[in-house]
Amino acid sequence: MNRKLQAVALIVVGAVGSCARQQTLRVVAAEEGPGLIEGTVTYEDGQPTKGATVSAFPLDRALAAKVPSADTDELGHFHINHLWLGKFAVTAKKEDEGYPNTSIGFYSDRKIPPTILSLAHPSATDTILLGPKAGILVGTVADAITGAPLDPCVDFQRASDPNNFLSGTGLVSAKYRVLVPSDRDVIMKIWHQGYLPWYYPGANHKSEAKPLRLSSGQERTLHIRLQPGNDAFDAGCNTGLCFPHCRQ
């Protein structure tokens, strides 16, 4: 099998953890290689985690393909094989139990030590500790007048660090469940074309927004109702894409 790396220039829009920005990246596509990362995922009490998803994010290149990943078995074991040689950040998530994707800085301040695969050491073993749990928001989004369900755009910002945010479509839908960092003040904005923006806990102007704060594992129900209308300064943008001006 030809394992040479192929470099291609692509125009991409956005990335997880940021509002979409159009930019040119040099993206590397890699065929299967000899690398293997295996190990165990455990809860904070040391018990094995079944059904967690472990991902190996490349640190030394962009990836024009799906991030390599695997689910853990009954004993918390995982194997991610056929990897190319290089540096990876290995992380685990189990969102159905409230454990977020800690590879996204919005959820975690932890520095993830790189796992390095080389010709001399093409395999590695990692033990990954889940936790802490995120806070959990559940609820609905609808037109305040008609009650029609809406799939909006959303922007979460850490109050202490506005540059640490999660923004885009699909994060919150008409009926939603979304994880937010625990024990952190978060500014939350919801918007949709043709409606006034909504800021937690129910304001239409950013100056009236208040921080949302949930403890680890805390679940809160929040039904959001958007008022029809437009605001030339802060109406948000279309829900197709989030461009930088969405976050003013």
* CA neighbor of 58 nearest in space, from 30, 21, 96, 92: 30
Convert the pLDDT of each residue in 68-126 to its tens digit.
999 999 999 999 999 999 999 999 999 999 999 888 888 887 788 999 999 999 999 99
pLDDT of residue 14: 29
Cα separation, 206 vs 243, whole angstroms: 18
* C-beta separation of 237 from 246 below 8 A: yes
Cα separation, 80 vs 34, whole angstroms: 11
Convert the pLDDT of each residue in 16-41 to its tens digit.
333 333 333 344 455 678 999 999 99
* C-beta separation of 54 from 90 below 8 A: yes
**Position 212 pLDDT exceeds 70:** yes
* C-beta separation of 164 from 154 below 8 A: no
Residues 6+ apart with CB under 8 A from 121: none
pTM above 0.85, yes or no: no
Convert the pLDDT of each residue in 126-147 to its tens digit.
999 998 899 999 999 999 999 9
* C-beta separation of 151 from 238 below 8 A: no
**Position 247 pLDDT exceeds 60:** no
